[in-house]
Amino acid sequence: MATFQYIAKDSEGNETRGQIEAADRNSAIAAVRAQGLLPTAMGEVRSSAAAPAQAKSKAKPKKAPAPAASSGDKKKRGLNMEINIKLPKFLQGKIKTKVLTQFTRQLATLVNAGLPLMRSIDVLKRQVKDQQMCEALDGISETISAGGTFSEALTAYPKIFDNLYVNMVKAGEAGGVLEVVLGRLAEFAEKADKIKNKVKGAMIYPIVVLFAAVGITAFLLITVIPKFQDVFKDMMGGQPLPPVTEFVIQASQYVQKDGLKVLAIVVGAYVLMKMAAKTSKGAYIFDVIKLKMPVIGTLVQRTAISRFTRTLGTLLSSGVPILQSLVIVRDTSGNLVISKAIQSVHDAVKEGEGVTQPLSQCWVFPPMVVSMVEVGEETGALAEMLTRIADTYDDEVDNAVAGMTAAIEPALIIFLAGIVGTIVIAMFLPMIKIISSVSGGSGGM
């Protein structure tokens, strides 16, 4: 039998602390619940068997004081201090999703294996190499040691653990199923990161080709075309150039003369767009544009629906109340159009209505999604239905990304070939005319 220290709440919400003996952690949770209490934190009390040993050690003669550190040791210690200098917080970047996901998955495995939470965190602390995560784990350990709950400790690090993470952990503590919730969190983060990486990966090739096209075109217009222009001026003898050649030469002159102005205008427009996107009205307009753009809009819509349904389904299945879940999903949706729709759902549910009606009034959600949510509400399996919708839309995002990549690659190649081909043809047409005139003149002689 082991002794467990617990923090629990009674039916009126009052917090109670105490100790209980049980065979394992799950048995301790069950025993606390049998008393009509809801456990929010549970940890094994370490044995005090080491006390006699400490008493014996006091009776032993004192050891001689350690020799003073030599100058060489001081230099080494100073070197270590220089190596271990920590970056200030404003220079620390955002923690990688992979680090958080790996920590969550490993913590879920250790807790599920029966290891106490504090012991699990200590084990993972030795393995984590990320500086921010190490500092966070130190602070979390101190908070829990002082009697705080795991979720309370997480709230001190909002840049690492967002509202979704904290509230799911809080629900897992309240229900005594922390290991299950941590597993769901890890799975959720892995799937979300997978979709995000697929979309990013699909955009790499088009961006590279587009930059190549702009670079090659600028090189030809600034460096190559002026040399051909001088040749044509000397050899054409005042004859008119073909329209295509004239257009390319004028474009070259414009880029040489006003290229920097155009670049400044483009950069200025980008900065203004970024500034406008930081305002609430501007951000909403940009989010509407993203959803209504041809081809890309469909991908953005499916990604947003997948994120909304998976997040809400994960929260509900973890025991988070629906109103609290809707607030979390609203704040983490990543799209103001979706956020506005979720706020309507929240207001309707607060008034005692269902989820389906306000969802059907938002054009972002297709009828199929609304119908599946309605079925989930009627059958009492809303969380499972939302997860199914998310899985379906994840597959559709995969297919959309593959189709978009397959369509963009040849289109960009044709676009690049068209630009370079037009410039080449524009330069060769006068050359052909010059060669023809030279050949005709020599034949007459």
* pLDDT per residue as tens digits for the range 384-411: 899 899 888 888 888 887 777 777 778 8
Question: Considering only 186-190, 269-273, 283-287, 363-367, which range has the smallest mean pLDDT?
Answer: 186-190
pLDDT bracket for residue 93 (50, 70, 90): low
- Over residues 55-83, the pLDDT tens digits come to 334 334 444 444 444 444 444 334 333 33
Q: Whole-structure pTM over 0.85, yes or no? A: no
State the Cα–Cα distance between residues 315 and 239, nearest whole angstrom: 76
Q: Given this model, what pLDDT does residue 175 score?
A: 66
Would you give the distance in Å from CA 341 to the centre of its chain?
22
Mean pLDDT confidence for 213-232: 83
Residue 13, both tokens: 């919400």
Q: Does 51 score more than 50 pLDDT?
A: no
Taking each helix axis as running N to C, give the angle between helix 178-219 and helix 163-175, from 0 to 180 degrees, rounded to the nearest 10. Answer: 160
User: Higher pLDDT residue, 110 or 97?
Assistant: 110
Going from the C-alpha of 439 to that of each of 318, 430, 443, the distances in angstroms are 85, 14, 6
